[in-house]
Chains A and B, each alone.
Chain A
Amino acid sequence: METLQPASITIEEFNVISDIFSQAITGELIGMSNFASLVETIDDPHEKMEAVEHANSERSHAEGFMAYAKKKNLKININLHSPYWGNVRKQFLSYAIKKDFIACLIIQEVILESFAVSMYTDVANALGGEAGRLFHNIADEEKEHLEHSSDILRAELNKDPKAFIKKFEEIHFNCMTILAEFTATTDLRGHCGVCNGDCMKGALHHIGLDVTVMRGNALALYASALDNIGIPGEKSIIWIARLPA
């Protein structure tokens, strides 16, 4: 079997790549679960089918990452109840229960996808090769999810800007706070519950990455997504500035 064991890469590189795949698989499974939960709460048959399709798309992403991890014998740890991912899921469920399709879209397709697209792209560029291509391809698909949701949310904003912005603001602080803590240089909520050993944040430099740059890029993409939806700059700057750092 082809493995990514120390002969070709250092043990530090192996560990951090394993952790990155663990995070990515966990994230995709959370996405899959989110859309699966949404299915039950939607009455409209078309939206229901679309949610199933979305869930399936995230499943295939998880599978893609898993297949590569298996092939390279990576040390994978999946934990859907970890402090950060579990809390994101809890937030999502709280809106899914209320059948709040728009809120679910904001969480999964704007907040989580902004981070996924940006971080997958950074990882893809750092890893290169087969792993790089895998991350690039999945990032491209996530980008489509992000763009698709922006169209829906822009229309939603135009219906009632004040109410929409108020709702988005609440979701931003409930969910983006978790991601901001997750990606802070120092652990603001303790161990992430996914990485093997110490959290990978301090070890990213082994593969030429830096959590500060990754978080900065992700926030930048999120900010642009907010612009694209039509959230005024004077609001988005407040939302970003008030996140934990």
Chain B
Amino acid sequence: MDCQAPSLDFAIIGHQENWQHITALINDIRTPRLEKLPVEKIKSIFSFIPPRDVFKINAKSKTGAEANGVYIETFIDPDMLDAQYIRTNISKVMNAVAFAKKLGAKVVTMGGFTSILLEGNFDSFSPGPSKFTTGNTLTAAFIVKGVEKAITQYGINLQESNILIVGATGDIGMACTNYFKGKTKKMLLCARNKNRLQKFALELIKDNILVNYSIVLDELIPEADIIICVASSTNIQMANCKKNVLICDAGYPKNLETTIDNPAAVHLFHGGMGQVLNGYSINPDYSKSMYHYEAPYISHGCALEAIVLALENKFETYSTGRGNITNDKMEEIYDLSLKHGITVAPFYNTKGLW
């Protein structure tokens, strides 16, 4: 059909970060010819809309290959990400999954909170040709490679540094921990569920890794030289950081700058992000309202994982479940990513590029 992508290599299932972004997008779709709708009116309709593809995406590789996909919006209310709304949200995600299958997408990534809602578990999906991935392997790879690049830039010695992972027992948190263990002075691990945290920490201690762990973030922060925040909560508070601590904010939404007590004294960048050097385009072009970065062609690692897999014709369930991301897998997807000219995004935060 003329309105569909010629062949659907990939689909990205996602949701919007806040109502400001949604208002901008809806008014962009409305075009300036129609009166701008205030956020209250948009709120009264947006979350009712069933998931659907909103725009096509064409991504270009440095090899000359191209991948065609779509972005499928779940219409999840950004103020309703808490556990109490889990049933509504899971049902939206499952509808989006059905939509991606109907469109015949060969590989589908579950962006933002959508994979967390399902705990990365795709077992309940009815079988079909579409393959699903959480996108967490490339996200984790971009985080760790980004941190390595940043410490070089700041002359930080990794072996003499303590790395704090907030959200250490999560899929991405475990991947980052396993990547850095043995390369640092000490690993500092934080999560809310004590049993899970203790179990994970004890495994590392068995391997002779120096570990401090706590469910109280404040107990770990003063020791940290590097902080990777990959918690699935929107309200992480950070106080008493060391001066010039390096912080990789890779959670969703990336809002640590608003909760940290002294943002001027830290080096903070938004991590887990990549850049497509040969570019990507979206159609209809809503980038005016949807694109919020200071450099071109930036996107989330989870979205880019689907694009890399599509460019590689590697239509498989690459990342699934929790705790399955190995260092080898991270290196593999990162190498494939580089092959197609998709690199760690330039460092930036809400103030702009570093």
Contact = CB atoms under 8 A, between A and B. Distances in A.
Interface string A210-232: 00100111011001100100101
A128 interface: no
Given A223-B50, A236-B52, A241 B30 contact: yes
Where chain B touches its partner, the secondary structure class is mixed
Given A227-B50, A234-B54, A219 B284 contact: no
Nearest to A211: B44
Interface residues of A, number: 25
Where chain A touches its partner, the secondary structure class is helix
A237 B50 contact: no
Interface in B71-123: 72-73, 99
A234 B26 contact: no
B34 A242 contact: yes
Contact of A220 (B26, B44, B50): B50
Contacts of B47: 216
Contacts of A152: none
A179 to B, nearest CB: 13
Given A161-B2, A232-B3, A241 B48 contact: no
A232 B53 contact: yes
B56 interface: yes
A215 B41 CA distance: 12
Interface centre among A223, A237, A240 (most CB of B within 10 A): A237
Given A233-B99, A237-B29, A223 B1 contact: no
A148 interface: no
A225 to B, nearest CB: 10
B49 interface: yes
B118 to A, nearest CB: 21
Contacts of A224: 50
Nearest to A210: B44
Given A161-B2, A234-B284, A216 B44 contact: yes
Contacts of A238: 29, 284
B37 A245 contact: yes
A217 B284 CA distance: 26
A223 B52 contact: yes
A231 B187 CA distance: 52
Contact of A234 (B30, B34, B55, B99): B55
Nearest to A165: B3
Contacts of B72: 233
Contacts of A212: 44
Contacts of B193: none
B45 interface: yes
A185 interface: yes
Contacts of A230: 1
A241 B26 contact: yes
B35 to A, nearest CB: 9
Given A165-B3, A234-B3, A234-B284, A240 B53 contact: no
Interface of B: 1-4, 26, 29-31, 34, 37, 41-42, 44-45, 47-50, 52-56, 70, 72-73, 99, 284
24 contacts: A165-B3, A185-B44, A212-B44, A216-B45, A216-B47, A217-B48, A219-B45, A219-B48, A220-B48, A220-B50, A227-B50, A232-B1, A232-B53, A233-B52, A233-B99, A234-B3, A234-B56, A237-B49, A237-B54, A241-B30, A242-B30, A242-B31, A245-B41, A245-B45
Given A245-B37, A245-B44, 10 more contacts: A220-B49, A223-B49, A223-B50, A224-B50, A232-B4, A233-B70, A234-B52, A234-B54, A237-B49, A237-B73
Interface of A: 161-162, 165, 185, 212, 215-217, 219-220, 223-224, 227, 230, 232-238, 240-242, 245
